[in-house]
Structure 1
Amino acid sequence: MALRALQFGAGKIGRGFLAQLYARSGFETVFVEARADLVASLNRHRACWIEWTDGVRETITPVAAIDARDTDAVAEAFAQAAVASTAVGVSALPTLAPLIAAGLRRRAAENPTPLNLLLGENALDAHTRLQTALLEQLAPHEQPLLTQLGLVRCIIGRQAVAELPGDPPGVRVDRYSKLPVDADALIGEPPPIAGLQPVRPFEVYMQRKLYLHNGLHALVAYLGAQKGYQTIQQALQDAEIHALFMQGANALTRAFLKKHPFDPVEHEEAVHDILARIQDPHLDDPIARVAREPLRKLRPDDRLVGAYKLLVEQGEDATPFRRAILAALAYNDPTDPESQQLQAWVRERGAEWVLREWCGLERF
């Protein structure tokens, strides 16, 4: 019988990345998903699929799915899982706490062994958010159950750019297959998952991914939106945007080597890989996808402001990220609630207030 991986969330990262790594490693993936039609489709076919950016398709099997409202079935699957993971969005992570708490109780009774829960949320505070929510769900005498649960933050680097029509729907993805995880949070041996790379200190690797990959991606998106482009690839054809993109990349590369003890060869390879994947001409990545939720992306330690502050701190030219922050302040997507909140603040209180009170930039 195949080892089982319990995957909370059957979205683009759940189906398009984590399940694929599990299948390559000999696991069956059991999804926990709120969309009843998707649960039914996954159970009917016992498979899902991805399409690489070059058009080649890969089937992922075996898979199954549980309706997220079926607490008893989720708890039983949690009790028997060899590994578990999430990809639900960091803001939704606390909503999983009742299910995980039920799973911890069942596991303690039926299979009292440690479990690593991989938090595929690309957030430095993912573990503390979930732990806080779990402590609220567990009675004081149950809280020692948490010592048997590794809350393991992950760096999700694969680009999952689109959901494709089908039964079940597919996911269009690039071929990046590494999964760096927080080495210090793992309980016992790392799970035998293809591509899993325990790293320490995790925060430094996460920051590199956030500023270089997500930051440069956002830079292109907001500058591109300002000029009316629809995709990242269109924006990168603009000479001015491409020059700012490369200028920002080179400045960040130097800043990270000044501040952190990365191996220079490994660092250069990582940066080269990030730049190549952002510029992949086959991605056709919508700017609306990359630019959505601008308030989150303008937080003091997130991809734009954090990168800007690092460049200033290390004496590098921060102009590209300064331009990107100003473009983000002007981003107006009528379908994005965060964009509309941001525009209301700019109208009512001014851009300087947003920079000072939201972004934490006293001088800009």
Structure 2
Amino acid sequence: MKAVHFGAGNIGRGFIGKVLHDNGYEVTFADVNAEIIDALNTDHEYTVHISEENGASYKISGVSGIHTANDTAKLAETVAEADIITTAVGVNILPIIARTLAPHLANRTTDRPLNIIACENAVLATDSLKAAVLAEVDEAALSNVGFPNSAVDRIVPIQKNDNILDVKVEPFYEWVIERGKWAGENKLEGVNYVEDLMPYIERKLFTVNTGHAAIAYYGKTLGYTTVSEAMDDEKVVAYLREVLGETTHYLTENYEFTEAQQKEYIEKIIARFKNPYLSDDLDRVGRGVLRKLGPNDRIIKPLVYLHENNMDHEALSKLVMYTLQFDNSEDPEQVEMNARIESAGTDGFLAQHSKLGSQLIEEIKSSI
């Protein structure tokens, strides 16, 4: 069985590539990073290290690489033979991947099932990838090709390894895939297949991602520089619990998760954040402020729901202010946000960008 994974970064090698390898796939990584691709084609293996005390190490062997810009003939051949194609490139890159994939998919000669899965930190990313592919090729050319959406969760800390290919990852991971859109019967082990993916997407988004944002933005106001430093402060942990208590109301109101189930999930997430082997830089965790203050993202969507339903939302209101005050001049989105606030004011920015009403904006401004 053969797999092609677009994106040979740490998530690709340390998470998706490892799961595919553990399922017996021969994994080919496609990327434009020549240094990584050359190393893959020289070594044909790397090691995944689990970031915990006495953490295990796993050898991932039989791998190779393709430079997507320079090795187009090899890419076409590999895509034609693939049983599964995955991505971990960032949702903004998916249209480029679609244009790369489309002509090769149209030329597939095998009738074996093929599944294409975007493993991105975004809602229904595979649907976006499929739409971009269909803009390039007729759907009739995609017979027996499945495009299941997925939700993925694994923390990969900032790291520097002696071997450029080796990766450190946390012990926990979750990969959830839409069962109904999967082509064929050959499912992956170590993956959870579900009929409805949205509960799992939003549970992760409004617990892991909202929690990470709370640590980054509040921790930075207290002068901390890393997640580990921030999580050593009980004020940060207490505030994190307040934020996740509010998002719990959203999740249990909209999905079938019980309070007890969500509490157990939160404790697992907090333990992950406290893992000193996973500590990350707060500037890195907090970058992308415009995306994170978007109307359907980790802070604003649950906040608006709770506000509209007269439920507690003070901690999330504070989180908006902490986000607005975040100071990272190396984040292009931070620079753009600051310019927009200078031009339109805080009220104008939150109304235009986050789509908030005046009453909620006033509550946010008076929250801290």
TM-score (norm 2): 0.91
The residue correspondences of 1:141-290 to structure 2 (distance < 5 A) are 142-189=138-185, 191-262=186-257, 266-290=261-285
Q: Secondary structure at the match of 1:359?
A: coil
Q: Matches of 1:201 and 1:208 in 2, distance apart?
A: 12
Q: In 2, are the aligned partners of 1:220 and 1:245 still within 8 Å (CA)? A: yes
Q: Matches of 1:34 and 1:255 in 2, distance apart?
A: 40
Q: Matches of 1:332 and 1:42 in 2, distance apart?
A: 38
Q: Secondary structure at the match of 1:176?
A: coil
**Cα distance change on mapping 1:24 and 1:115 into 2, 3 Å:** same
Q: Secondary structure at the match of 2:153?
A: coil
Shift of 1:281: 2.8
Q: In 1, are the aligned partners of 2:246 and 2:315 still within 8 Å (CA)? A: no
Aligned position for 1:85? 86
Q: Deviations over 1:67-125 (max 9, x none)?
A: 11122211211111121100000000110112211221232x2x123311121012114
Q: Is 2:19 the partner of 1:18?
A: no
Q: Is 2:92 the partner of 1:96?
A: no
Q: Is 2:326 the partner of 1:331?
A: yes
Q: In 2, are the aligned partners of 1:177 and 1:195 still within 8 Å (CA)? A: no
Shift of 1:33: 1.0
- Superposition CA RMSD, Å: 1.9
- Give the percent of matched residue pairs that are identical in Structure 1 and Structure 2: 29
Q: In 2, are the aligned partners of 1:21 and 1:177 still within 8 Å (CA)? A: no
Q: Matches of 2:356 and 2:143 in 1, distance apart?
A: 39
Q: Matches of 2:220 and 2:259 in 1, distance apart?
A: 34
Aligned position for 2:295? 300
Q: Is 2:55 the partner of 1:59?
A: no
Shift of 1:222: 0.8
Q: In 1, are the aligned partners of 2:124 and 2:150 still within 8 Å (CA)? A: no
Q: In 1, are the aligned partners of 2:248 and 2:259 still within 8 Å (CA)? A: no
TM-score (norm 1): 0.92
> What are the ranges of 5 or more consecutive residues in structure 2 without an aligned counterpart?
361-368
Q: In 2, are the aligned partners of 1:9 and 1:32 still within 8 Å (CA)? A: yes
Which amino acid in structure 1 is aligned with residue 273 of structure 2? I
Shift of 1:315: 4.3
Q: Matches of 2:205 and 2:263 in 1, distance apart?
A: 16
Q: Deviations over 1:260-293 (max 9, x none)?
A: 1235654444333222212223211211221011
Q: Matches of 2:152 and 2:309 in 1, distance apart?
A: 27
Q: Matches of 1:264 and 1:242 in 2, distance apart?
A: 19
Q: Secondary structure at the match of 2:277?
A: coil
Q: In 2, are the aligned partners of 1:162 and 1:171 still within 8 Å (CA)? A: no
Shift of 1:235: 1.4
Q: Secondary structure at the match of 1:161?
A: coil
Aligned position for 1:6? 4
Aligned position for 2:365? none
Shift of 1:44: 0.6
**How many pairs are equivalent?**
356
Q: Matches of 2:188 and 2:236 in 1, distance apart?
A: 38
> After alignment, is 271-280 or 239-248 more displaced?
271-280
Shift of 1:171: 2.1
Aligned position for 1:46? 44
Q: Deviations over 1:16-51 (max 9, x none)?
A: 101111122222211001111110101111012222
Q: In 1, are the aligned partners of 2:83 and 2:113 still within 8 Å (CA)? A: no
**Cα distance change on mapping 1:103 and 1:269 into 2, 3 Å:** farther
Which residue of 20, 32, 41 corresponds with 1:34?
A: 32
**Cα distance change on mapping 1:295 and 1:85 into 2, 3 Å:** same
**Cα distance change on mapping 1:72 and 1:98 into 2, 3 Å:** farther
Q: Matches of 2:304 and 2:318 in 1, distance apart?
A: 13
Q: Matches of 1:171 and 1:313 in 2, distance apart?
A: 44
**Cα distance change on mapping 1:32 and 1:119 into 2, 3 Å:** same
Which amino acid in structure 2 is aligned with residue 13 of structure 1? I
Which amino acid in structure 2 is aligned with residue 154 of structure 1? S
Q: Matches of 2:237 and 2:271 in 1, distance apart?
A: 13
> After alignment, is 311-320 or 31-40 more displaced?
311-320
Q: In 1, are the aligned partners of 2:126 and 2:150 still within 8 Å (CA)? A: no
Q: In 2, are the aligned partners of 1:255 and 1:316 still within 8 Å (CA)? A: no
**Cα distance change on mapping 1:99 and 1:260 into 2, 3 Å:** same
> What are the ranges of 5 or more consecutive residues in structure 1 without an aligned counterpart?
none
